[in-house]
Chains A and B, each alone.
Chain A
Amino acid sequence: MARFEKRGPRSPITQSIRVDKVHPRARVLRRLIAILSLLVALIMLLPVFVMGISAFKTRADVMSSPPKILFRPTLEGFMLLFTDRAVVSQARQEELQQEARAGKLTLFARLALEAGMEITGPSAYVFRLWNSVIIAGISTVASVVLGLFAAYAFSRFKVPGKDDLLFFILSTRMLPAVVVTIPLFLMYRQLGLHDKHLGMIILYTVFNLSFSVWLLKGFIDEIPKEYEEAALVDGYTRLQAFFRVVLPQAASGVAATTVFCLIFAWNEYAFALMLTSQRARTAPPSIATMMGRGGIEWSAIAAGSLGFLIPVVIVTFALRKYLLRGITFGAIRG
C-alpha cells in the first residue's frame, strides 16, 4: 500500500484541488455567494449608515421629513460632542464674529458661534472615552486569561463537582443586572470601590468570566487530547504542553472570546450608570444623555456613537485572521 506521506508536498495544501471546487460551475457559485454576502453585509449596515450620516447632519437635517440622503455635511455634531458650550450675549457674539473674520477662531469655535454659543472647554466625553479604554481593555484581558486557564482545567482534568461548578459559573450571569446593582452598590461603597476604575474592572471581569469560561471550554473541548498527550510523552511538562500545543490551537477561540468580552465591557450601560459618578464613568452613559437646548442632540449622539464604535471595529478587524481561521485544521477528533 502506498504511503501518502512520502509523496505528498511538504507544505500543507491550502487551496482545494477537488474537481468539484475548480469546476466552472463551482466558481460561478462562489462568485454568487460573494455577491450575496456583500448584499447581506450592506443590509446589516443600513442602520449603521443612518447613524453615520446623522453624525454629519445639522439638527434640522436629522429631523427632516422625508429623511434626507443628500445633505451638506457639517461637523456640528462632533463640536457638540467634544466641547462644553455656553450661550453668549449679542455683544460678545459680534466680537467673536470679528475674530472669526480675522481667521483667529478654530473650526469648532466657528461652528459654535453659528449656533450662538461659545466654547468653554473640552467636554467630559474625551475623559470618559479614556476611562472606557482602560476599564474595558484591562477587564477583557483579565477575563480572557482567567477564563482560558479555568476552561482548560475544566476541559482536561477530572475536577470534582465539575458540572456543578460550571453551572455556578454560568449562574453568575443569570440574575438580572437591575437587582444585582443594589447589593453591589452597598458592597462597593463599603469596600471603597464605588466610582473607582478598579471596581469597574473587577465587575466587568466577573461579568464576562462566565461567558469566557463556557465559550473557551467549548473551543478547547474541540481540540483533540491526543496532541497534548503526545507532547507529554515527548517530555513537555503540562504547562509547556498548554502554552505550546493547546494555546496555538485555541487561537481562534481566544480571538472570538476577546472580541465578545471587549464588546460587552465596552458597551455596558446599566452598571456604569449606577456604580460610577464622575471619576470612573465610562462613555456609554454619557452618550445617551447628550441633551441640548432643543431636546435630544441626535447629531452629537450619532457622532459619539460613531467614535465609540470605531475602536471595537478596528480590534475585530485586526483579529479577523484568527476569528475566521479553523480551529483544528483537519486534525482527528478524539
Chain B
Amino acid sequence: MERFHTDGHLTDEALAALIRDGRPDELSRLEIAEHLSFCDVCLQRYTDLLSGTTLLEPERSCSETLWVRVRMRTLRLVTSRYATAAAAVALALTMLWGGEKIQFSRPVLPEFRPAAVERLHSWPERWNDALSGTLSGVTDFFDGLRPGKHS
C-alpha cells in the first residue's frame, strides 16, 4: 500500500488504514504523524474523515487533571520567579549595607614603609663609610711597613 502520493501528500488508503485500524507499523505511523504535523491539506482531510466516524473516548477525562497540571506549572513558574527576585534583592542589600565593612587588601608599596625607605636611602652612605674604614685600615697597615715609621 502506498502511503504517500508522488507529490508528497498522504494517500486516501493511508488515512483509511489509520482510521480503520489497518495496523500500519510504527514507522509508517511516525511518517504519517510527521506529515500531519505540518500539512494543512492532509490534516483537514484526516479530521474531515474522523468527523464521519465514531470518535474514541478516553477512560479518564483529562479535564480535571489538566487544571491540576496548569496550577502546578503556574506555581512552579511563580516560585521560580520569586526565588530569583528574592536572591537578587538579598545580593543587592548585602552589597549596599555590607559594602563599608568590606576591605579590599592591596599590596603595601615601599613608599608606605618609612623604615624600609629610610634604610634604602641611607645605604649608599653606609657603603661609603664601610669602604672608607676598610681603606683606612689598609693604608695604616702599609704605613706601618715604611722604614721611617720604625725609627
Q: Do A and B come together as binding partners?
A: no
